[in-house]
């Protein structure tokens, strides 16, 4: 249960989305508003580490993670004030299990790819072994932490994420569900992912067994307009995707439907049904 944002478009300073807005990701780390559990409880604190990944002039993304809360973090403030990127993502973590360590923070990176995730799977400790056995042997040594998310990413890579992202994610979901439903036919899988290769931004919203995580996007240059004048306009031809809107949820934000795979490239947002199963 976490919060994230993702951006692609004209290069902007990361602080435009990560630290400055009134309901920025950093503010959400302390006080999110849409992060409900299935039983209706609001999880407002996302203090179990954070991470950012960004694409500037290098082929591989930059990655900065810490196992501290994002609020009051001087390194994060300074970095986001200095660094510009055409494509970036940022994540604040809340966990009810699992260790608080940098290798469990999102986004996860492999070569030029980034992956971040908000959601959960039930019974992960019971299906972890079976899922990790499905990771390609040459990718197995990439396992550095203990999260479900890292396992999902390596599964997706195993199934061809770098060639055919949507199909790879379908196979990943099918594989997770296969293991999950063996253990508990009422098991829950809930995924809200942002993925990038530095040229395209992909998102997935998929849920099995409970209400899906929220996910919104905007291509509206005034999507941050309630903020102070200097930051008011986003560049045209830019797209922001968030787990909850940065300002009050208004008509500049479009909710992405459940069971949707989204591809964003050159400010074109292509929306497809993810899964016909």
Q: Is 231 in the site for its own copies (CB under 8 A)?
A: no
Closest among 71, 52, 24 to 114, alpha carbons compared: 52
User: Rounded to whole angstroms, how far apart are CA atoms 216 and 194?
Assistant: 12
Q: Kindly tell me which residue out of 33, 34, 36, 66 binds its own copies, with binding defined by CB under 8 A.
A: 66
Buried-exposed string 203-213: b where 16+ CB fall within 10 A, e elsewhere? bbbbbbbbebb
List strand residue ranges (DSSP E) for 14-135, in order. 50-55, 62-66, 84-92, 108-110, 113-121
Segment lying near its own copies (by CB under 8 A), choices 141-149, 164-172, 198-206, 242-250? 141-149
Give the whole-angstrom CA distance, residue 185 versus residue 78: 47
First to last CA, the chain: 26
- 95/207 with CB nearer its own copies: 95
Size of the site for its own copies (CB under 8 A): 48
Q: Which of residues 195-224 bind its own copies (CB under 8 A)?
A: none
> Would you say 5 and 17 are in contact if contact means Cβ atoms under 8 Å apart?
yes
54 is a site residue for its own copies (CB under 8 A)? yes
Q: Does 183 bind its own copies (CB under 8 A)?
A: no
Give least dist CB 71 to its own copies, A. 8
Site mask, its own copies, residues 101-140, x = CB under 8 A?
Answer: xxx---------------------xx-xx--xx---x--x
Q: Which stretch binds its own copies (CB under 8 A): 143-151, 172-180, 229-237, 249-257?
A: 143-151
Q: Which of 10, 37, 38, 82 binds its own copies (CB under 8 A)?
A: 82
182 contacts its own copies (rule: CB under 8 A) = no
Residue placing its CB nearer to its own copies in the complex, 128 or 166: 128
Residue 181 interacts with its own copies (CB under 8 A): yes or no:
no
Binder to its own copies among 33, 34, 60, 259 (CB under 8 A)?
Answer: 60
Give CA separation, 130 vs 141, 178, 227, in Å.
16, 10, 47
Cβ of residue 141: shortest distance to its own copies, in angstroms? Answer: 4
Residue 79 backbone dihedrals phi, psi, to 5 degrees: -60, -45
CA distances in angstroms from 10 to 13, 35, 56, 229, 238, listed in the order given = 10, 29, 11, 19, 6
- The residue from 33, 36, 45, 210 that contacts its own copies (CB under 8 A) is 45
Contact window for its own copies (CB under 8 A) among 95-103, 158-166, 200-208, 251-259? 95-103
Q: What separation in angstroms does the CA of 160 have from each of 58, 90, 163, 243?
A: 23, 24, 5, 26
Give the three-state DSSP class for 263: strand
* Residue 226 lies near its own copies (rule: CB under 8 A): no
148 to 34, 114, 221, 249: CA distances (angstroms): 22, 16, 35, 30
Chain contacts with its own copies (rule: CB under 8 A): 30, 44-45, 47-48, 54, 56-58, 60, 62-69, 71-75, 78-79, 81-84, 95, 99-103, 125-126, 128-129, 132-133, 137, 140-141, 143-146
């Amino acid at each position: 249960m976490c919060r994230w944002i993702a951006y692609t478009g004209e290069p902007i300073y990361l602080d435009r989305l990560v630290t400055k807005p009134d309901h920025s990701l950093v503010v959400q780390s302390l006080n999110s508003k849409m992060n409900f559990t299935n039983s209706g409880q609001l999880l407002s604190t996302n203090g179990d580490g954070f991470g950012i990944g960004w694409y500037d002039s290098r082929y591989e993304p930059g990655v900065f993670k810490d196992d501290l809360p994002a609020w009051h973090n001087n390194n994060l403030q300074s970095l986001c004030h200095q660094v510009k990127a055409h494509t970036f993502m940022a994540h604040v973590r809340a966990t009810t299990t699992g260790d608080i360590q940098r290798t469990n923070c999102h986004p996860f990176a492999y070569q030029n790819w980034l992956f971040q995730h908000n959601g959960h799977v039930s019974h992960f400790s019971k299906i972890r072994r079976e899922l990790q056995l499905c990771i390609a042997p040459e990718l197995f040594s990439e396992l550095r932490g203990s999260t479900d998310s890292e396992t999902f990413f390596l599964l997706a890579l195993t199934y061809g994420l770098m060639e055919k992202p949507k199909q790879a994610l379908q196979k990943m979901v099918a594989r997770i569900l296969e293991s999950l439903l063996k253990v508990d036919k009422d098991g829950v899988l809930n995924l809200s992912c942002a993925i990038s290769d530095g040229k395209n931004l992909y998102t997935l919203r998929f849920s099995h067994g409970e209400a899906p995580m929220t996910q919104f996007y905007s291509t509206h240059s005034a999507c941050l307009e309630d903020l102070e004048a200097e930051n008011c306009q986003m560049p045209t031809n830019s797209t922001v995707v968030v787990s909850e809107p940065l300002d009050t949820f208004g008509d500049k934000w479009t909710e992405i439907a459940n069971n949707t795979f989204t591809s964003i490239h050159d400010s074109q947002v292509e929306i497809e049904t993810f899964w016909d199963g």
